[in-house]
Amino acid sequence: MRTAGTGSDEANSEVQVTVARVVATPAALEAIDHVVAERGPVMFFQSGGCCDGSLPMCFGEGEFVIGGHDVRLGTVGGCPFWMDHRQFEAWKHTQLILDVGAGEPEGFSIAAGEGRHFVTRSKVFTEDEVSALEGTERSS
């Protein structure tokens, strides 16, 4: 975690800058709440493999085996979000934003509700966010 000064009037006070590798939109959080209420705990996996496309996959907790090299990006709606380690190397400069889209999910993913599926959007980290992440990951 990194701290940053807040201004000349408050030169001695500091604000913690927190950067998350994965976040969720309000629509995604609502969908997660609905899915968990119906099915129990879930997890997400973003692989980007040739067979499952680039959509995040939602599974019941324990229904998908995480590899020893896969990266846990964080949690969304209280649910762990993992990424294939090779994908992480290609995408580590971006924040993933879990959202929902219209249409049925691909593959074996749990739907995000009637006629909806989970989608991932992304935002490139700023230099300050990268610095904050590097500081957090070194201290972990």
The candidate with the shortest Cα–Cα distance to 84, out of 116, 48, 123, is 48
Same domain? For 4 and 61 the reply is no
pLDDT tens digits along 22-37: 999 999 999 999 999 9
pLDDT tens digits along 62-72: 999 999 999 99
The candidate with the shortest Cα–Cα distance to 60, out of 131, 129, 100, 111, is 111
Same domain? For 111 and 131 the reply is no
pLDDT tens digits along 98-125: 999 999 988 889 999 999 999 999 999 9
pLDDT, mean over the chain: 84
Same domain? For 136 and 86 the reply is no
Q: What is the CATH number of the domain that holds 110?
A: 2.60.300.12
Q: Which domain holds residue 1?
A: 1-18+127-140
Q: How many domains is the chain built from? A: 2
Model confidence at 93: pLDDT above 90:
yes
Same domain? For 25 and 58 the reply is yes
Instruction: Write down the residue that tokens 């509700």 correspond to.
Output: 113
- Binned at pLDDT 50, 70 and 90, residue 136 comes out as low
Same domain? For 100 and 60 the reply is yes
Same domain? For 1 and 46 the reply is no
> Is the distance from CB of 64 to CB of 45 less than 8 angstroms?
yes
Same domain? For 36 and 104 the reply is yes
Same domain? For 1 and 68 the reply is no
Helix/strand number for the chain, H first, E second: 3, 9
Strand 42-46 versus strand 2-5 pairing type: unpaired
pLDDT at 5: 38
Same domain? For 25 and 48 the reply is yes
Once rounded to an integer, what is the mean pLDDT over residues 78-104? 93
Same domain? For 92 and 28 the reply is yes
pLDDT at 18: 82
Same domain? For 11 and 42 the reply is no
Same domain? For 37 and 96 the reply is yes
